């Protein structure tokens, strides 16, 4: 078994329960621990105690392995001077919302870094933010995109680079919409179906259900993205849980009912709970469980 197969196999190289992000690079890379430490600390006062260590023996073998720590965060990373599996890359790059040129460069990448957050006592959103911060620093030299393989999504690495936005770098990354990187939002057509399926991926890592909807067309993408994001944020903020049959008001005259997948919809698999959202009339709602969003 190759090193790449070890980290992408069913046991994830011992990291199967850890949250993970990946960074794709245009060319082989060799990260420098002193430079990475300085860059993290310079990015925000909240990272003043950041330290990056890289194993010198493994670096010489061609696969730099290291760990970054600050506060309660501990992130292990390994850099492969070889491409990430093409099928996984395309699954995360194809539906992403950035230009075709960068997508082609991402598909043609020649190296990648795996990052694993190993402190599972911290909230998932905090862990993902920490992973994104380290990804932004690692990707400053030749990085192309940051990938969340389990969420089937990716973003340009520059989005997470320090100094690119107003405000504290850590707070900016923490405040990003849930479905940008922590979880994914995908639109796709299914043979024989005139309308467009829209759904989330990776929400189980956040302790949340995935959501799916059969929309009228791609023009409903932005409103569905915002709808799903609001619903998931509500669950995070309130601690509430959705259930089959729950209904809710999502606009002045819009209502939803949650249901389980039908037999013909089993192709929309999910690693955790998955609720299908159907628009209904006000008369079809359950008043005792209505929640205005």
- Strand pairing report for 51-54 and 19-25: unpaired
Q: Are 123 and 28 in contact (CB under 8 A)?
A: no
d(CA 272, CA 148): 17
pLDDT at 58: 62
Give, for 252, the enclosing helix (H) or strand (E): none
C-alpha R_g of the chain = 20
> Distance between CA 33 and CA 176 in Å, rounded?
27
The values of phi and psi at residue 121, to 5°, are: -85, -15
**Tokens standing for residue 209:** 């259900």
β-bridge pairing 143-148 and 51-54: unpaired
Nearest 5°: phi and psi at 195? Answer: -85, 180
CA distance 29 to 83: 12
Structure tokens at 27: 């060319």
What does each of the 293 residues of the chain score in pLDDT, given as a tens digit? 344 444 444 444 455 568 999 999 999 887 788 999 999 999 999 999 999 998 876 655 556 788 999 999 999 999 998 999 999 999 999 999 999 999 999 999 999 999 999 898 999 999 999 999 999 999 988 999 999 999 999 999 999 998 877 789 999 999 999 999 999 999 988 777 788 999 999 999 999 999 999 999 889 999 999 999 999 999 999 999 999 999 998 888 889 999 998 887 777 878 889 999 999 988 888 754 444 44
Residue-range domain boundaries for the chain = 3-174, 184-289
């Amino acid at each position: 078994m190759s090193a790449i197969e070890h980290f992408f196999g069913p046991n994830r190289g011992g990291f199967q329960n850890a949250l993970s992000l990946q960074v794709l690079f245009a060319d082989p890379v060799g990260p420098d621990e002193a430079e990475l430490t300085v860059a993290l600390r310079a990015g925000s006062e909240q990272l003043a105690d950041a330290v990056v260590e890289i194993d010198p023996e493994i670096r010489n073998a061609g696969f730099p392995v290291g760990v970054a720590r600050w506060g309660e965060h501990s992130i292990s990373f390994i850099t492969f001077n070889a491409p990430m599996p093409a099928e996984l890359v395309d699954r995360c790059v194809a539906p992403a919302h950035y230009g075709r040129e960068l997508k082609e460069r991402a598909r043609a990448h020649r190296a990648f870094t795996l990052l694993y957050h190993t402190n599972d006592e911290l909230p998932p959103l905090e862990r993902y933010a920490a992973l994104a911060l380290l990804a932004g620093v690692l990707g400053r030299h030749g990085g192309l995109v940051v990938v969340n393989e389990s969420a089937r999504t990716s973003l340009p690495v520059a989005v997470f680079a320090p100094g690119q936005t107003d405000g504290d770098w850590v707070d900016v990354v923490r405040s990003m919409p849930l479905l940008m990187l922590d979880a994914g939002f995908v639109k796709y057509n299914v043979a024989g179906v005139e309308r467009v399926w829209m759904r989330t991926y990776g929400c189980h890592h956040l302790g949340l259900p995935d959501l799916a909807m059969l929309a009228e067309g791609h023009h409903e993408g932005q409103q569905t993205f915002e709808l799903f994001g609001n619903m998931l944020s509500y669950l995070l903020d309130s601690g509430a849980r959705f259930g089959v049959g729950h209904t809710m008001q999502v606009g002045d005259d819009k209502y939803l009912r949650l249901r389980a997948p039908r037999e013909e919809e089993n192709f929309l698999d999910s690693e955790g709970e998955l609720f299908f959202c159907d628009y209904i009339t006000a008369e079809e709602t359950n008043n005792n469980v209505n929640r205005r969003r």
